[in-house]
Every structure is written in structure tokens, then in C-alpha cells.
Amino acid sequence: MEKVLSGIRSTGQLHLGNYFGALRNFVKLQHEKECYFFIANVHALTTHNDPVQLRESVKSVLTEYIACGLDPDVAAIYIQSDLPETYELYTLLNMLAYKGELEKTVSFKEKARKSPNNVNAGLLTYPVLMAADILIHRAHKVPVGKDQEQHLEMARNFAQRFNHRYEEDFFPEPFAFNFGDELVKVPGLDGNGKMGKSEGVNNAIFLRDDDQTIQKKVMKAKTDGGPQSENSEKPEEIKNLFTLLNLVSNTDTVQFFEDKWNDCGIRYGDLKKQLAQDMINFVTPIREKIVDLEQNDALLQKIARRVLKKPVQVLM
């Protein structure tokens, strides 16, 4: 059976970008494939180093995984640091990864630009550890958002080099996966770029946000002066609002606002009110499950400490 592996860094609360880019697919895939989903607490160390926050974040992501529908009886859910064989493979793969290609990685350049005082070696070799996470399970499919496409390409390169040097077909080539045709990029609310955990307080809608917070953030979302002619191209910030509407609203609602845009009758206040309401409807049941689970620490501990249900083939 095909194997699936993916993870999310424990660097803060999860948002709609994590849900629609990754988690939604985890939940579907767990019933179809042999699935491994982890909490990437070692990857988190590349940018976050407060030990207390790190522990809290692992628990928080685990809670959010379960609240979104991941089932520890169906998929293997684990914490990255609980599978130390990953680091063994990471060391071996590091000998096959070249400084030049790592320095050219978009995510590395972006993080180095944002935090010039913390350009650590772990940040540079992030794609190698990610490849080890995937290849240790010999996974075929990796459900991730569009921002991870380049990392998957690198994982394939490392797998090929390993196979070529040591043993043909030892590792399968892993591919980024989404149930739709294309990988997803969920935009933020501030007009440009993707929704992210640390892109400013009003950029992301978190799965734990209450109704009022969602409403406030959406109403503050960037818009323009409105369409100047019928059937015109939408500017980036308006396109983003429609992308979000497409994710949480029904097709009639989306069509209604598309028509309003096309005949220049759109009122952004109405669009935002509807978007906020549909986001609230979407987030509320997840938030309620998170709150429920947080009252049940014993259950969370039990899930977290469970050894991998399916034995990992120890490599080498």
C-alpha cells in the first residue's frame, strides 16, 4: 500500500492555511493509505528556541490535529523527536546535499532575510531533515501546501542520489500531494502573500479564533476602491478574498459575489460580512473540539506517548 507522510511545525497555533493546505488532506488520506503524521518539533527549533513555548506548542498542535479529525487509531501520529532514526538518515543525506543548492532554496533565503541574526546551519539543511522525515518511511505521497513544492523536489533529488550511489530503487521518489489538481496556497488577509503563523496578527485566521476575532480580522482585510469597469481583472487583495470565500462558502454565495464584482455592484462590506460568517461557521466546531480536548490531558498524553503503531523499517 502507498505510504503517506506529512507534518506541521510546532511553532504556534494552526490556521486556515495549515488546514486547507495540509490537514484537510491528512484527514481524508488516513482512511485510504498507510499514513504517518508528525509534529515537527525539531524543525521548529530552526526558528523558535524557547523551551517552554516549544513544549506547549507540541501539545497545542496535537490537540488541533485530533480536533480536525486525525484519528490515532487509524493513522500513526507521532512527535518528530520521538523517532531519532530520522536524524541518522539526516546525517547520511547531508553528505549528498550541496551547500549551493541549499543556499538557493526559497524558504531559506526568506527566513535568512527575515532573521539575519539567526541563520543557523539547521535552517540551511531544513530540506535535508524534511527529506529524512519522508524517506525514513519510504513515503510516496506528501500532502503539503504549495510553499513546500521546492522541498519535495529536493527530497526527490536526495533520494535519487542515494539510490544511485548505494542501491537502485532503495527509496521511492516522494511527491507533493493534494486532492485537487493543484497544490493550495491560502492567502493572508493583508493583501499579499500567504497566510502564515507569524505574518502579523491580522493576517491569519486561527482554528482557535473566536467569532469576534474572526469578524474583526476579516473586516480589516485590505480592499481597493472597487471595480472600475464590468468584468475587469481583480487586483491581488480582492482575488485573495475570493480565494478564501471559495474555501469556506457554498458555490451560490461565491457566484453571487462574482456576479456583483462583474457588474460593478459589489459592496466590500457585504462580502466581508459573509466571508466572516462562513469562516465562523467553519471554525466553530473545530474550536469547540479543541476546547473539549484541552480538558482531557490524560487522553492527549496517551496519544502523544504511544509508540508508533506500525513498526518503522529501521534503515541501514
Q: Return the number of the residue (138 or 185) whose C-beta is nearest ligand AMP.
A: 185
Residue from 184, 248, 276, 286 in contact with ligand AMP (CB under 6 A): 184
25: which residues sit within 8 A by CB, 6+ positions away? 6, 143, 177, 178, 179
Please choose, from the candidates 209, 229, 195, the residue with its C-alpha nearest in 3D space to the C-alpha of residue 276: 209
Q: Classify the C-alpha dihedral 88-90-94-99 as positive or negative.
A: negative
Binding mask 2-21 for ligand AMP (x = CB under 6 A): ------xx-------xx--x
Residues 6+ apart with CB under 8 A from 84: none
Catalytic center residues: 111, 194, 197
Residues 6+ apart with CB under 8 A from 30: 37, 70, 71, 74, 75
Q: Which residues, 6 or more positions from 139, have their beta carbon under 8 angstroms from its beta carbon?
A: 3, 4, 5, 36, 172, 174
φ, ψ of residue 21 to 5 degrees: the values are: -80, -35
- Length reported for the chain: 316
Give me the 192-231 binding string for ligand AMP, x by CB under 6 A, dash otherwise. --xxxx----------------------------------
For residues 54 and 96, which CB has a smaller minimum distance to ligand AMP in the complex? 54
| Number of shown-chain residues binding ligand AMP (CB under 6 A) | 17
Shortest Cβ distance from residue 22 to ligand AMP (Å)?
4
Task: Give the residue nearest to ligand AMP (CB).
Answer: 21
Give the strand pairing for 175-177 and 141-143.
parallel
Question: Contacts with ligand AMP in 129-148 (CB under 6 A)?
Answer: 144-145, 147-148
CA 291, 279, 29, 144 dihedral sign is: negative
Residue 229 Cβ vs ligand AMP, minimum distance, rounded to whole Å: 31
Q: Which is nearer to ligand AMP, 198 or 301 (CB)?
A: 198
Which of 132, 186, 207, 248 is close enough to bind ligand AMP by CB under 6 A?
186
Measured from the CB atom, the residue of 28 and 164 that comes closer to ligand AMP is 28
Q: Is 45 in the site for ligand AMP (CB under 6 A)?
A: no
Contacts 24+ apart (CB under 8 A), 192-195: 192/236, 192/237, 192/240, 194/17, 194/145, 194/147, 195/15, 195/16, 195/17
Residue type, 157: N
- Compute the least distance from the CB of residue 129 to ligand AMP, in Å: 12
Given the complex with ligand AMP, which of 19 and 261 has the nearer CB atom?
19
Minimum distance from residue 294 beta carbon to ligand AMP (Å): 20
Binds ligand AMP by CB under 6 A, chosen from 4, 22, 66, 132:
22
Residues interacting with ligand AMP, by CB under 6 A?
8-9, 17-18, 21-22, 144-145, 147-148, 184-186, 194-197
